Amino acid sequence: MIADRDVRLSLVAGLLLVTHWVLGLSMADEPSWAWMLSAAACVIAGWHPTRISLRQVASLKLDIDVLMVVAAIGACAIGQWTEAGVLLFLFSLGHGLEGLATERASSAISALAELAPTEATRVRDGVEERVGVATLAIGDVVIVRPGERFPIDGAVVEGVSSVDQSPMTGESVPVRKEPGDECFAGTLNGEGLLRVRAARAAGETMMARMARLVEEGQANRGVAQRITARFTRIYTPVVLVAVPAVIGGMMLTGSGFDDAFLRGMAVLIGASPCALAISTPSAVLAGIARAARGGVLVKGGAHLETLGSLRCMAFDKTGTLTTGRASVRGMECFDGASRERALAIAEALDRHSSHPYAHAVRAAAASAGVARLEAVQVTDVPGTGVRAAINGRACALGSPRIVDGMPMPAQVEASIEAHRTEGQAVALVVEDGRILALLAFEDLPREGAAAVMAGLGRAGIQRIAMLTGDAPAVAARIGAAVGITEIAAGLMPEQKIERVRALRSIGPTAMVGDGINDAPALASADLGIAMGARGSDVALEAADVALMGDDLARLPWAIGLARAARRTITQNVVIAMGVIAVLVPLAAFGGIGLGGAVVLHEGSTVVVAFNALRLLAWDRRPA
């Protein structure tokens, strides 16, 4: 990676400069060869800026890179090797880090593409054959076995199963699929074998379209144009003309070449944008470092600045505002059944299951300390539940469909409806044809999520919305729990993008999510924020910011830090520009000599650097 190499070269140059500095402090008489360390740092750190400068000169598009290289050459010409080395080191390091972040972000495309299988089992004239997904045509029938990912978008023509659609819709629990139901490439089949008829070509699946959406979102997000870059479009050619003009003017008025050259070098040093060049990168690097220490990974300076300008935020629900793990939130027993026995039966049936609800059942049983029962002849009922024999009795656990063909008591029906109205999923425990209990499952809001939403409001976020593919009742319950009133439920990835774009018309907008289905919305927002610990690889790559500890409480803190970094950048630019505005005319008219220009110039650089370093100790909360 080119950017990675540039960063390494910059760090080597920095090590040489530090070595030179240490020698000067530790030895009474600095060795005559010590200047060569700074000279070597200039060559190493100046390699990248020099290449850019040569291209700019060749294309007659002069930018700050050209002026930096010329200023470094001028500093070397009068023996200021250390100043030239520091100038080039800081500038090349900033360039390298920004390029590294850009290269890493591009891997989101390949990560998304790798999710869908490349081969499929096609059935033609009763014969099964393995073929490349790219060769499948609309109307082809493929077999998707338990535990396999769907290779194509299509409709189920045979079989019943539960399918994990979270990569596409963000739904927190598997969805029952039966003949006629739509399936998507990249989603994960559960316990049943399905035959699916292809409805779209491989290049037009929802997953392929998501990959294109990520790519488009990243391509349309231009690098933030900094104030210094805009200024140097005019500033660079003016300085490059002014320095030889000063030298020539003095020689025409009778001054010797030596005096004229020193005056010109004083102007060049005074006009050298060293402080201006590090005004933004130093604050950005300090802000990024402080954010990382606080558990927030910011992938570049432009993203830190965007984070500090946010006005709207959109959140995914499952795994972002919620824990992403189902839990037993309620249990009702019927007809005098024992709670302990019903829970023990449920645990025995789910003991070896990988279903998301099975983990919740086992956790509830362990918490209640119920006695362990042994289940035999365990049989999965695809898309419905599980049946087995326990102590010679026929037992079952699953959705209400597990009791199809049996009379459903009115009390049980009413309880099922009540829990579903509250956005909870339900399962029934059955023994010898008798319904013992109802288990209610739900995905809980993250602890402290409501406080985070309030903190975002205090941090200056004007609009907060929830965008989810889950059911409206579930979304409404979570929204009420965390304090979000703007809710859009049942959304597909493309619909999430439309909602994000609507918020962007109001002001800079961030999208916060953790799933693969969130990647296009993350990429299309002004800022994508991913949950780092539980987030999918695709979401993390598509995002610009990652909460590495899955701690939403870091969001208001990070926004406050980013806004402090923006203020620091403005302060640094004002300081740097102010010193240049004073030094250049003074040096041009002889009001200050070369030594004074170097002292004031270096002083402004030190002030800017220390002002930026203050961000490393920043720890205030938004008011």
| Helices vs strands, H then E, count in the chain | 21, 22
CB 522 within 8 A of CB 528: yes
Residues 6 or more apart whose Cβ sits within 8 Å of residue 86: 17, 274, 605
For residue 316, indicate whether it is catalytic: yes
CB 42 within 8 A of CB 72: yes
- Distance of CA 157 to CAs 181, 192, 193, Å? 8, 13, 11
CB 386 within 8 A of CB 396: yes
- Distance of CA 43 to CAs 9, 32, 68, 129, 593, Å? 10, 19, 13, 61, 28
Backbone torsions φ then ψ of 127, nearest 5 degrees: -105, 130
Q: Which strand ranges, in their side-by-side order, compose the sheet holding 127-132?
A: 127-132, 119-124, 141-144, 194-198, 154-158, 182-183
Structure tokens of 461? 């976020």
SS3 label, residue 330:
strand
Task: Give Cα 581 to chain centroid, integer Å.
Answer: 40
Closest CA to 400 of 432, 356, 365, 435: 435
Q: How many Cβ atoms are within 10 Å of 37's Cβ, its own excluded?
A: 22
Q: How many Cβ atoms are within 10 Å of 257's Cβ, its own excluded?
A: 10
SS3 label, residue 378:
strand
* Dist. CA 41–CA 64, nearest whole Å: 20
Q: Which of 316, 470, 518, 550 is catalytic?
A: 316
CB 317 within 8 A of CB 511: no
Closest CA to 101 of 206, 223, 195, 11: 223
Per-residue HEC secondary structure of 588-616 comes to: HCCCCCHHHHHHHHHHHHHHHHHHHHHHH
> Which residue(s) pair with 441 in the sheet?
328, 425
Active-site residue set: 316
